[in-house]
Each structure stands twice: as C-alpha cells, then as structure tokens.
Structure 1
C-alpha cells in the first residue's frame, strides 16, 4: 500500500510539472517565428538570416544534449541527480524566454545579434531542464503499464499547457496589446504570465517526487565520453527509436508550426485558429485519457498502426478541406488523436531502451538515453523551422502587404510543405519502427527478469 501511495504521488507530482513547461516551450517553438514576422516585422533577408541561425543553433545545441546527459548522470547531490538541473534550467529558461519576446527597439543587424545570443542561451537553458526532467520518468517505475500511466498523465498535462497557449495566444495577445498600447508589449506580458505558471508547477515536481531505489545491480561509476558514446551507439534499440522519433517530430512540428499562417492566409480567418485549437486540445487530451484502456486490450504495435491510419486520413481530409470548421475539425481530430498515441508510445519506447541498455551494457544511463528526446526535438524543430521560414519566403507570404491575397502557386507550396512532406516522414517513421524495434511486452518482461537475477547473483557474491 505504501508503494502504491508513493507511486500515485510521484505520478501526479511529476505529471503536473509539464503544464507550465509546455506552455513556455509552445510559446517559443511555435510563436517566436510569428512574433518575429507578424509583430516585430522583418525583411525577407533578415528572416532568412534568422531562420538559418535558428537551424544552425538548434543543430549545434542538439549535439550537446548527450554531454548534458553525462553531466546529469554523473551528478551526486543530497536531492539526487535530476532536481538540481531541473531548477537551474527552469530559472534560466524563464529569464531567456522573456528576452526572446522583446526586440529592445533594435533593428537589422543589431536585432539579429541580440536574437542570436538569447536564442543560443534558450537552447542551453532548456536542455538543462528538459533532459533532467524527462530522464527522471523511467526511474519512477519498472512496470511498463505504470510507465504508460505516468507518461499518459504527463502528456495530458503537457497538452493542456500546449493547447491553452494555442487557443489563447492570438486573442489574449491582441487584448493585452490593446490594453498596453503595443502588440509587442502584449506578447511580452503574455509570456511573463506563462513563465510564472511554469515556475509554480515545476516546483510541484521538485518538492513532490520521491525516487524509488534502482534494481539490477547497475554500475554506479561515473560516465565518461567513451561511456556516453557506448551508451548511445551500442544500444541498437535506442538508435532505432531515435530515428523513428526524429522523422515523426520533423513532420509533426512542421505541420503545427504552419497553423497560424494557414488560417490567416489560406482560410483568411485568423480567429478560426483558436476554435480549431480548442477542438484539437480536447480531442488529444481525451485520446491520452483512453490510451490506458486501449493499451490493456491491444499490443503497442497494433496501437501504433491504428494511430498511423488516423493520421493519414486526417492529412488527406485537411489537404482537400474547404474553409469549413466541420471538415477542418474532423481532420484535426483524426490527426491529433493519432499524434497523441504515437507521442506517448515513443516516450515509453525510449524509456524501455534504458533497461535494454542496462542488460546489454551493464550500466543505467537514464539521462544520456533521454538526452535523445531533446536532441530529436531540437533537430526536428530546426528542420521544421527551416521548412517554415523558407516556405514563407518562397511562397510569398512574408512579403504580402495588408489585404493582399496569397497566389495559387503560393497556396500549393504552403499546403505541400505543411501536409504532404510531413505525411511522408511520419509514415516512413512507422515502417522503420515496425521493421527494427524488438522490445515488445514479452521481451521487456524477460529483460526485467534477467536484471533481477543479476542483482541477486551480485548480492550472493558480496
């Protein structure tokens, strides 16, 4: 009973930490580009430069993620190895997010330099918090179903945060802009509100989570650079998961990053975007709520395959949909129900590769392993930002004046970049998973049994 009570407390304390995190992350990842193009207003040349900087900075920082994972795995403190970096990354991210949503009155080269400095700092700060936060998750339970519960609840809270921002960012920043006399100030105040929420809910995780002991007789020696490379490249299931996740995230982030532009320039109704976001938010949260029910009755491969079918149907309906909320909403529900299932499945796939690597290599590297998630998110966002930024220039959107309409050529370019390319990448990720990923429910159970036997043998020797 004590363990069950502790598990429930850990599950909710950990899951609630995602609410504010994903609010701020959504603001930066999805609406920083909107702020730059629609609020600050920059030339095509400046936009191309900033887009390139974002891509290069994210790719460079992504390769630093495993190093941060090593630092976290090697941390020894009174409050554990995860929480110190959660707190440091939290407050750094809060400060830098505020700085990104102001231009300080700078223009041209001065603004580009200012943006570059704080964008790089954002990547560093977020890396500290993100890797330490998510690598804590697999340490909370060795039971696959319990991990799915933790993951599902975390994704539910994360999606609440995400869709609150998606649904409110346009009307609230417009309202704040009118109140303060500047849309720039409206964005800054709105970001400040999100930052406060993030700090409050992250403190719930820091003070509420208590980690259970490790099983399996893991090597507790510190991880060096050679050990990091061994943990990453000799764990074949981690590599398969990483490739599949990367392809999926590039497609998903590309589609979502086009959202505001699509409703504004294709459907010519920016206000529809908030309604659309509410429909999607509710449907995705409901999908995560029912996931455990489906998980008890179907294998993970079956759930993944069903989710891919929903996503394909959603993209096809969206591509041919007129400016009608019924068709748009139906497409969105299919897309984001499927997406919710896949994101949760990939989270637990990644968690299960830790025990696989533990058995194969003799050492648990939670943070190095979970460094793959922000690595993939950053690479995905870098590629997606590149696709969005260049598409805005090539399609002619960035150079449109108020009242001007997008040409048919520009419309086709945007729809193809937003839907056809992502669909191809997401389907490809599914085939890689089906072909190469071997840790099903039965195999994972065998891994845990072998780790327990190894721990018992070690105790007998001692």
Structure 2
C-alpha cells in the first residue's frame, strides 16, 4: 500500500484550490515570528556573551559551534519524526508543531539572555544548556514550518510566491530586530536589564505571531504514512544522497548562510569599534533591510525571465561586489550603509530562492528514488544551514580572540583589521565561491523541473488507474 494524500480541511479532489493572499501573508508572518526569536541569537547573543556575561571570545564562539551542531542533529531527528507521522488529524501533519512550540520557544529565548550570578565556568555551562535547549525547541517548530510548502500547494508559481512571502517575513523580522532591539537595550540602566527587557518584548511578540500564522494556513496535500509502512532512516538518507540538486544547495548554503550570519554577528562590533558609533546599527538595519524588501519584490520577475539558477547567481555577484567595495571604500557611516544596502540587496535574491529550490528538490528526489520525504529533505537542508550557523558563531569568536579583542575598550589596529575582514572579506569571498559551485554543479533548470513534475503526475495517474482496475476486478470476482 502506498502513501495517500490527507485532506483534513475538506479540500475536494476537483480543480486544485488556489491559495488566497491572506494565507500567503499568514505563511510569511510565521517567519516574522520565527525571526523575532532566531535573529536575537544570531545578531546579539555573541555580543551578550562577551560583553555582558563576560565569557572569553573563543569560549563564546565554541558555545555557538557545539550548540549549532547539536541543533543540526535535532533537525535530522525532527524531519524523520515528521515524515513518519501516522493518523494525522484535522490540524494537519505540520501545523501542530507550530502551535505547541510557540510558548516554550519564547520562554527559552528569554532565559538564554539572562545573566545569572555564577562564576565564569557556571555562566559558560549556563550558556551551553540554554542555547542548546533553544535550538532543540526551535528545530521542533521550524522544520515542520519549512517543510509545509509542498503540502500547501503543488503549483510551482505558488510555491515561488510562498517562498518569497516567507523570505519577506524573515526580512521583516530581521529588520524589526535590527532596528528595535538595541534602542530598548540602551534605554535601560544597565545591559543586563536592557537585554532582558528587549528579549522579553520580542519573544512574546514572536510567539503571538506564530500562533496567528498557524491559525491562517492550510495543508492540502500532506502525505500520510499508512500504519504498516514506516520508512527506515537509512533508506531515507540513501535517497537523499541521490538527490544532486539538494546536495548542491546544501553546499552553497554552507557558504551563503555562514557569510550572512557572520555579517549579522559582526556588524554590532563594526559599528561600535570601527565606526565608533553603535547607535547607527538601527539606521543601517533600516536602510539595508529596505533594500532586501526591494530585492524580494523583484525576484519573482527575474526568476521568470532568467530562471531561478541565474537569478541566484546574480544575487551572489551583487552581494560580493557590495562587500568587497565596502572593505576598500567604506570609511564612514554613510558609505558603510550605502555598500551594506548593495550587499544585502544581493543576498535577498539568494535567501528568497532557497526555499523554492528546496521545494523543487522534493519533487526531484521523488522522481529519482520513488520516495517523497518533505521533512527529511528539509531537515537535511537545514542541517547544513545549522552547521553554517555553527561556523558563523565560532569563526568570529576565534578571530576576535586571535586579534586581541578587548570588550568595551578601544581596539588595536590588529583587532580593527580582524573585525573588517569578518565583516566584508569573509562573506564576499564565499559569495564568489557560491557562484562557481552553482554554475558548475547545479543542473536542475526550471524547464527540467517542469518535465519532472509532468512525469510524476503521469506516474501517479497511471498508478491510480491500475488501482481502480484492480478494485473493479475484485468486485466482479
């Protein structure tokens, strides 16, 4: 007996139901809520660890490395769990995870930014425990959320739109986090209270937005495993390693997500110690994220004209040009913000298309191996993104330690050079590496994808006809 589609919301088997604008916005809002929680760790937690908690830079970087590797393993486990769910109820296959993790995720986010009265060793253990707990709960929430697109629609155009709405939501969450967080921190009497106040506001808002998203999205094509069928994890991952487009996407995301997150983590240091004005962080965030929204808006148009692969590579070229130009010519706040806008504009092409390309990889994997595993595909992809996040947290900590960074003090020329290299050279070079890998190894064009979908539909239609014929023969006998 094969997999069968579940239609918990009363979707008929006639003409496929088109997604309403309200649902697309609701899906995008889900990533606003996610990023209110996730981005706080990516942007501010390293600085909180070094400047408020008092951890050595290298030790703080190691917290990110080990915690993110743990997260990556959690993603794999959650993806397998989701794919093997049985007896799916009216809430759906993926949606319940969003609902039930919203409040615990908000609470652990707040706890991660507390400054307990422990020794340095005790604080280091506290950092490990809280951030690993955050990562585990975030995996249980985010892997099903990201796996939902193939279950919401089979229309490639609608999938691209959902990916764009999701990226717009991610960017809006990042924009608000960048613009709004530090002013709240700086408004308090000390950093400990400021961080706790700011993170509490963002965590509560993030949980509420996730619940709103859950209430306004639907699953139409969730694949439920029959009671007697359980896919072995070994079989799932053997199938993954035959999915070449997915493997290429995983590799380039090691580059791009690491580059993006290093920029997020280091920009606070750059503004405070290189430009000597931490108050420009909100302005930089406002203008650069504004350019990201422009990029997200034109990605569907460019993808239709150029194809997703060419648009992805164009974004990397713009990103690299912005960062390398900033390294050479950004000597004040105005030029820094201008080049940051260019780099973030280019990165928006990459980040917008990632989710659409992963959805394409689900169909490619099903066509190649006969196994459809949204959760495993998505979790394998996010495994590499978590590994890149681990690198992005570890590398700045190690580099800051190597160049002699001293918290809350004037920095040496060596430290300044290290911060500038992390901010511009590291992401610029990795953007160029992404272009090379995509050009040489990514072969799933938009036209080829359409052929694969048509062949899959033909297979399923033939299987349905054969099943109907068998049932008719059984009745006649």
Q: Is the 8 A contact 1:18 1:161 kept in 2?
A: yes
**TM-score by structure 2 length?**
0.89
Structure 2 CA distance for partners of 1:193 and 1:447, relative to 1, 3 Å: same
Residue matched to 1:10:
23
1:210-251 per-residue CA deviation (whole Å, 9 max, x = no partner) reads 112369x99993322222212321222211111111111112
Residue matched to 2:59:
49
- Of residues 433, 448, 453, the one that matches 1:448 is 453
Give the Cα–Cα distance (whole angstroms) in 2 for the partners of residues 400 and 9 of structure 1: 46
Residue matched to 2:9:
none
Q: How does 1:14-53 map to 2 (within 5 A)?
A: 14-42=27-55, 44=56, 47-53=57-63
Structure 2 CA distance for partners of 1:260 and 1:203, relative to 1, 3 Å: same
- Of residues 148, 173, 182, the one that matches 1:161 is 173
Give the Cα–Cα distance (whole angstroms) in 1 for the partners of residues 34 and 408 of structure 2: 35
1:158: how far off?
1.3
- Of residues 81, 94, 103, the one that matches 1:71 is 81
Give the Cα–Cα distance (whole angstroms) in 2 for the partners of residues 214 and 7 of structure 1: 18
Residue matched to 2:69:
59
- Of residues 318, 327, 333, the one that matches 1:325 is 333
Structure 2 CA distance for partners of 1:101 and 1:268, relative to 1, 3 Å: same
Residue matched to 2:259:
251
Give the Cα–Cα distance (whole angstroms) in 2 for the partners of residues 285 and 456 of structure 1: 40
Structure 2 CA distance for partners of 1:56 and 1:40, relative to 1, 3 Å: closer
Residue matched to 1:173:
185
- Of residues 122, 126, 130, the one that matches 1:114 is 126
**TM-score by structure 1 length?**
0.92
1:36: how far off?
1.6
1:370-401 per-residue CA deviation (whole Å, 9 max, x = no partner) reads 1134312211111111111112212222x255
Structure 2 CA distance for partners of 1:261 and 1:120, relative to 1, 3 Å: same
Farther off after superposition, 310-319 or 229-238: 229-238
Residue matched to 2:211:
203
Q: Is the 8 A contact 1:69 1:367 kept in 2?
A: yes
1:439: how far off?
1.4
Residue matched to 1:96:
108
Residue matched to 2:241:
233
The answer to whether the aligner puts 1:420 opposite 2:429 as a matched pair is no
Give the Cα–Cα distance (whole angstroms) in 2 for the partners of residues 5 and 401 of structure 1: 54
1:86-120 per-residue CA deviation (whole Å, 9 max, x = no partner) reads 23333332121111110222231111222211111
Farther off after superposition, 2-11 or 231-240: 2-11
Structure 2 CA distance for partners of 1:416 and 1:219, relative to 1, 3 Å: farther
1:3: how far off?
5.2
Farther off after superposition, 244-253 or 53-62: 53-62
Give the Cα–Cα distance (whole angstroms) in 1 for the partners of residues 99 and 239 of structure 2: 26
1:312: how far off?
2.0
Structure 2 CA distance for partners of 1:10 and 1:361, relative to 1, 3 Å: farther
Structure 2 CA distance for partners of 1:289 and 1:3, relative to 1, 3 Å: same
Q: Is the 8 A contact 2:317 2:432 kept in 1?
A: no
Structure 2 CA distance for partners of 1:9 and 1:400, relative to 1, 3 Å: closer
- Of residues 134, 141, 166, the one that matches 2:146 is 134
Q: Is the 8 A contact 2:324 2:428 kept in 1?
A: no
The answer to whether the aligner puts 1:315 opposite 2:327 as a matched pair is no
Give the Cα–Cα distance (whole angstroms) in 2 for the partners of residues 452 and 377 of structure 1: 31
The answer to whether the aligner puts 1:458 opposite 2:463 as a matched pair is yes
Give the Cα–Cα distance (whole angstroms) in 2 for the partners of residues 401 and 9 of structure 1: 46
Give the Cα–Cα distance (whole angstroms) in 2 for the partners of residues 434 and 368 of structure 1: 26
For 1:271, what is the secondary structure of its paired residue? helix
Give the Cα–Cα distance (whole angstroms) in 2 for the partners of residues 4 and 453 of structure 1: 20
Residue matched to 2:363:
355
Consecutive unaligned residues of structure 2, counting only runs of 5 or more, are: 1-13, 468-477
